[in-house]
Amino acid sequence: MLQAITRESKDVSSRLMGYISSCKALHECKSQQYTAECLKKEGKIGVAVRVVSQALSDMKKSMPKEESWKSVFRQVVDDLSAMVRKYEHENDFVWHDKVPCAYEPPSSPQGVKIVYRIPYQPQKWERTLVFKL
């Protein structure tokens, strides 16, 4: 929505746009880290290595211009690098799982039905309400 507004008018500052895009990149990185951790728990360490590697390359591409924000990005890049090394080492020694060339996340989350429809059957005698006009 913000990108659509900035195309039409120049009322939004470039620093704010930079801040929002860097927050978006950090949020995507965190979600990929959590996805990788879940994949590792499921025993799909090769896919987890690919997800973390992709997150690392995306973070390096989206380095912000502001120096104060770069320190946060560098810390995240260091964490991701350590995570990639750890996962690759574990995969080489324990799992020997194949690392795919690309990872496509599932298109939509799979839902579980937790509520079922029950037909209504009144327990006592009910009468319809009739209003006098």
* CATH code of residue 70: 1.20.58
pLDDT at residue 53 tops 70:
yes
Whether the pTM exceeds 0.85: the reply is no
Q: How many domains does the chain have?
A: 1
In a domain? residue 30: yes
In a domain? residue 43: yes
Work out the angle at residue 26's Cα, subtended by the Cα atoms of residues 21 and 29, and round it to the nearest 5 degrees: 125
Residue 38 CA to residue 42 CA, distance in Å, equals 6
In a domain? residue 71: yes
Residue 13 CA to residue 17 CA, distance in Å, equals 6
In a domain? residue 108: no
Range of the domain at 66: 14-95
pLDDT value of position 106:
57
pLDDT value of position 111:
75
CA 85 to chain centre: 21
48-63: average pLDDT: 91
pLDDT value of position 86:
94
In a domain? residue 83: yes
51-55, 71-75, 83-87, 98-102, range with the lowest pLDDT: 98-102
pLDDT value of position 77:
92
By C-alpha distance, which of 64, 42, 39 is closest to 53? 39
